[in-house]
Every structure is written in C-alpha cells, then in structure tokens.
Amino acid sequence: MPPADADRTVTPFPVGLWEQPQPSVPGEAADDAVQRIRVPASITYRYTPGAAPTRFLRGLAGKRILGEKDPVNGDVYVPPRGMSPIVGLPTTEQVELPDRGTLSAFCVVHIGFGVNAPPTPFVSALVLLDGAAVSLYGTLLEIPIEEVRIGMRVQAVWVDDDQLEPSFESIRYWKPLDEPDVAAELLKGHM
C-alpha cells in the first residue's frame, strides 16, 4: 500500500531562499554538477583495551573466562569493562566463570560479515554464563536452526590449546549441552 501522503504536493521553497545561484561563467552549464569526489581517508589507532578487559583477554589465553563483580550488588559482568554500570564504581574482584550457560536470545543470520563468519544461515546468540549477570555474544553451531530456543543450555567450543590467544576468538563457537532447558522467566533482566 502506498503511504497515505503519496500524492501530497511538496511545498515549494520560498523564492530566493533556497535557490541555487546560476553560474555566470561562460561555458559553465548549470547541470554540470560534480556528482562525487573520491577522498581516500584512513587513520591508524593503537587501541588499548584497558585494565579490566586486559585481565579478561589474558584469561581467555589460559582458557578461562574471568568476569568481574559489582562491589555493591554482587552482579558479575562478563566481558568486564572495569565498571559497574549500575552503581558507577570500579569492579575489582575477579570471578572465574564456567564456559557453559543458557541461551538468552538468538537470531538467524542470513548475510554473514567478516572473514570468520560461518556459512549462512547461522545462529547468533547471547549466552548467559552460569553465575553471570549479563550475556556474552557468540555463534551457536552443531544444532539444526529450527531446534534453537531461548532457555537451551550451551557450552563453549574453544580453539585448540596451541591456538589460544588473548582474544575473544579463542572461543570458536557455542554448542548445545544435553541438559534440561532453563525457564525463560529466569533469564529476565539478563539479556
């Protein structure tokens, strides 16, 4: 259905207000507008992740998932950014979390981006690790897409030990775990 105002006449601009000046140079026609210019631009950054993300990334190199605890309410954030967004105080206590959890949200991706994207379609997932307050992002494989559901239990699949690095890519993907589903009610507020 066309939009309701498809036939609406666009109000013309007041004369003189938005008019383009007419070229006065001989041989310079009004319709000779430059359509585009090419301006290559690049800036190189030496980005550093900061103290808490450094602790997290170093943990991954040792096949450990290290969250950090809110100093007031005890919530565990993973991956940590060094701060509790709820109280605005630094997280200082590290908590090792298991590499298993519950699918808290997912979508089916039909157009893959990036060199490491799996063949499409695949499932992008948020995983609430056992003991964490917020969910981690990852890819869910080893299950037919139509069987994926919120509340299902999942486990990390790591790269081979000699490939482990201080990188989120040390976790290759997540796979289903043969355990009973968690009620969606219990995932509220943790996505």
Partner 1 sequence: MAPTRDVAIVSFAQTTHRRAVPELNEVELIQPVIREALDAIGATISDIGFTCSGSSDYLAGQAFSFVMTLDAVGAYPPIQESHVEMDGAWALYEAWLKIQSGHADTALVYGYSKASPGDLPRVLSRQLDPYYYGPLWPDSVALAGLQARAMIDAGIIDEAEMAAIAHRSREAARGNPHAQLQGSAPIDELLAAPYLAEPLRRHDCAPITDGGAAVVLAAGDRAREWSKRPAWIRGIDHRIDSHNFGARDLTTSPSTELAAQKAGVAGGPVDVAELHAPFTHQEKILTAALGLSDDTVINPSGGALAANPMMGAGLIRLGEVFKRIESGEANRGVAHATSGHLLQQNLVAVLEGER
Among positive and negative, which fits the CA dihedral 42, 46, 51, 54? positive
Neighbouring residues of 82: CB distance < 8 A, sequence distance ≥ 6: 50, 51, 52, 53, 68, 90, 91
* Least CB distance to partner 1 at residue 155 (A): 29
Kindly tell me which residue out of 61, 87, 117, 186 binds partner 1, with binding defined by CB under 8 A: 87
Site string for partner 1, 89-128 (x = CB under 8 A): xx--------------------------------------
Q: Are 171 and 163 in contact (CB under 8 A)?
A: no
Q: CB-wise, 49 or 118, nearer to partner 1? A: 49
Q: How many residues bind partner 1 (CB under 8 A)?
A: 25
Strand (E) or helix (H) holding 61: helix 51-61
* Least CB distance to partner 1 at residue 46 (A): 5
Q: Indicate whether 166 belongs to the interface with partner 1 (CB under 8 A).
A: no
Kindly tell me which residue out of 1, 25, 29, 43 binds partner 1, with binding defined by CB under 8 A: 43
Kindly tell me which residue out of 85, 92, 117, 165 binds partner 1, with binding defined by CB under 8 A: 85
Q: Are 190 and 104 in contact (CB under 8 A)?
A: yes
Residue 62 is encoded by which pair of tokens?
Answer: 């040792």
Kindly tell me which residue out of 57, 64, 71, 81 binds partner 1, with binding defined by CB under 8 A: 81
Q: Indicate whether 52 belongs to the interface with partner 1 (CB under 8 A).
A: yes
Residue 82 is encoded by which pair of tokens?
Answer: 């060094």
Kindly tell me which residue out of 84, 104, 135, 139 binds partner 1, with binding defined by CB under 8 A: 84
Pairing of strands 100-109, 153-158: antiparallel
Return the amino acid letter for 148.
V
Give the CA distances from residue 18 to residues 12, 21, 35, 75, 127, in Å, rounded to whole numbers and listed in that order.
Answer: 10, 9, 19, 56, 53
Q: CB-wise, 82 or 151, nearer to partner 1? A: 82
Q: Given the rule CB under 8 A, which residues bind partner 1?
A: 37, 39, 41, 43-54, 81-90
